[in-house]
Amino acid sequence: MSNQDVRQDTMLLVEDLSFSYSGKKALNQLNFSINSAECTILLGPNGAGKSTLFSLITRLYDSHHGKIELCGFDVKKQTGQALSKLGVVFQQTTLDMDLTVMQNLRYHTALHGMGRKIAQQRIQQELERLNMYERRSEKVRQLNGGHRRRVEIARALLHKPSLLLLDEPTVGLDVPSRESIVKHVHQLVSEHGLAVLWASHLIDEIYQDDQLIVLNKGEIKAKGNISDVLKITNTSSINDAFKYLTQGEAK
Amino acid sequence: MNGLHYWRAMWGIIVRELMRFVRQRERFISALVRPLIWLFIFAAGFRATLGLAIIPPYETYILYEVYITPGLIGMIQLFNGMQSSLSMVYDREMGSMRILMVCPLPRWFLLASKLIAGVAVSIVQVYVFLIIAWFYDIEAPLEGYLWIFPALILSGLMLGALGLLLSSFIKQLENFAGVMNFVIFPMFFMSTALYPLWKMKESSEVLHHLAHYNPFSQAVELIRFALYGQFNESAFVYTLIAFVIFMMAAVLGYNPSKGMMMKKGGR
């Protein structure tokens, strides 16, 4: 494979990324990349820097050190092109509670400049995939937490992004809802070649083929597939490896 | 990204704002009741104590209610501007601001669209207020109702941009009450909305200057003259400049590498 090919496959590239709040380092020298058809789980305890990293990728903050590229576009210099390749599900619900599912999704398609016909088509496709299409006229307030999340995932995919960011999307959901969302996202990766970066602190959301990045106190402690991480930490389960990488530091 | 994309996004933002407005009927009613209380109660009681000389744009002696009407229109827009920025703070706390900010359009454009959507809402409120005032015998010349439209756009943009600027500084919803006290009240009372400038000079020279340079006064004068089919050039220029300054500062405030997004100097 030539260098060019590798480059085309890289959906997210983070190089030497550091960030501080008021002089306190939140992220320190992060380096990693995510390829298409790859689900990368960003594991870390609360306060590890996961949300800061997401804010930098989505350009809510600007980094002064390092580089972030989405599909080859520099987030700082080619913001528009970079963001058009990105779908995001934030930790908090970002739906308008008193508007219907359809109205919420229409707002998103408008922001992405999609015409009415295409918008309608895409909304139907994404909602049907999550068995939510028949509930399109209901107000979001009437939906339960799991269904709201589904709507948000559908929304994040409407403009066909190449990279999907999920910031702890299953927090506060019951087990069946969690499982169905985890399964759905992994399907998107394997069937549609989507690149996914999924922030989590729940070990059981990891599939065998997933890539892992373990973040603690703003630094990457380990990265690679599951067997890589187990080898580095000399442990037999991800749970132990995670404890070793995050709690060892705390002692 | 092309022109159509921009247009669709702006339209989407305006439609969302109008849908929210329709949904929050209490907001509409309270926005209307506020100036009506001033008009029906305050102005009626106050007119006996305040003698008004003939000053432009009026050509004859007028009732205090007539004088105060443009000021109350300004008040509607002032409150609306602050309210839409309040909703921005709310949006930010609730996270829906993030959805707007990660869409692939320049931030200044998104903020401008938000602003225009807010102005559209305020103009609807103003015309409803004017219709009610009409039945209370506060009648301006018919063409005044036409001329006031462009004036409302500019004054609405200026006051909305001020709200936007303030919202970029406010981190939490709770702090907004302070802004109401420190911005809305001083701006309103230190202006020509309730009393003419010359009258103020009689009691305090300082107050007179403050009121004169208060952008809200200028917006009110712009509206006052427009309502009588006249163009107040200095008020127009002043309001326009104030709008440009507030808007630029607001865009800066929402810039990811500066302003509130950095939460005090992240590097």
Classify residue A243 by burial, with Cβ atoms within 10 Å: 0-12, 13-18, 19+. Answer: middle
CA of residue A82 relative to chain centroid, distance: 15
Q: What is the mean pLDDT of residues B200-229?
A: 91
| Per-residue model confidence as pLDDT tens digits over A72-110 | 999 988 989 999 999 999 888 888 888 899 999 999 999
Q: What is the fold of A3-85+161-250?
A: Rossmann fold (3.40.50)
The residue of B93, B102, B107, B109 whose CB has the most chain A CBs within 10 angstroms, and thus the best one to mutate to test that interface, is B102
Predicted confidence at residue B262, as pLDDT, reads: 47
Residues of chain B with C-beta less than 8 angstroms from the C-beta of A60: 98, 101-102, 256, 261
| pLDDT band at B94; cut points 50, 70, 90 | low
Q: Where are the domains of chain A?
A: 3-85+161-250
Predicted confidence at residue A35, as pLDDT, reads: 93
Return the residue of B nearest to A113 by Cα.
B5
Predicted confidence at residue B171, as pLDDT, reads: 65
Residue A251 pLDDT > 50, yes or no? no
Query: Is B104 part of the contact surface with chain A (CB cutoff 8 Å)?
Result: yes
| Per-residue model confidence as pLDDT tens digits over A175-226 | 888 898 999 999 999 999 999 999 987 888 888 899 999 999 999 999 999 8
ipTM over 0.95 threshold: no
Please spell the DSSP secondary structure of chain B, one letter per residue. --HHHHHHHHHHHHHHHHHHHHH-HHHHHHHHHHHHHIIIIIHHHHTTT------TT--S---HHHHHHHHHHHHHHHHHHHHHHHHHHHHHHHTHHHHHHTSSS-HHHHHHHHHHHHHHHHHHHHHHHHHHHHHTT----HHHHHHHHHHHHHHHHHHHHHHHHHHHH--SGGGHHHHIIIIIHHHHHTSTTTS-HHHHHHH-HHHHHHHHH-HHHHHHHHHHHHHTT---HHHHHHHHHHHHHHHHHHHHHT-TTSGGGGTTT--
- Tell me which DSSP letter residue A100 carries: B
- Mean pLDDT over each residue of chain B, to the nearest integer: 85
Rounded distance between C-alpha atoms, residue A152 and residue B180, angstroms: 34
Residue B185 pLDDT > 50, yes or no? yes
Look at A9 and A28; give whichever has higher pLDDT. Answer: A28
Predicted confidence at residue A7, as pLDDT, reads: 43
| pLDDT band at A5; cut points 50, 70, 90 | very low
| Percent of residues, chain B, with pLDDT higher than 70 | 89
Q: What is the mean pLDDT of residues B49-63?
A: 75
Subunit contact B106:A80, Cβ cutoff 8 A: yes
Subunit contact B266:A26, Cβ cutoff 8 A: yes
| pLDDT band at B56; cut points 50, 70, 90 | confident
Query: Is A100 part of the contact surface with chain B (CB cutoff 8 Å)?
Result: no
Q: Where are the domains of chain B?
A: 3-261
Q: What is the mean pLDDT of residues A8-20?
A: 88
Predicted confidence at residue B174, as pLDDT, reads: 62
Predicted confidence at residue B258, as pLDDT, reads: 54
Nearest CB to A83; choose among B6, B103, B261: B103
| pLDDT band at B73; cut points 50, 70, 90 | very high
Question: Between chain A and chain B, how many beta carbons pairs sit less than 8 Å apart?
Answer: 113
Nearest CB to B256; choose among A61, A65, A107: A61
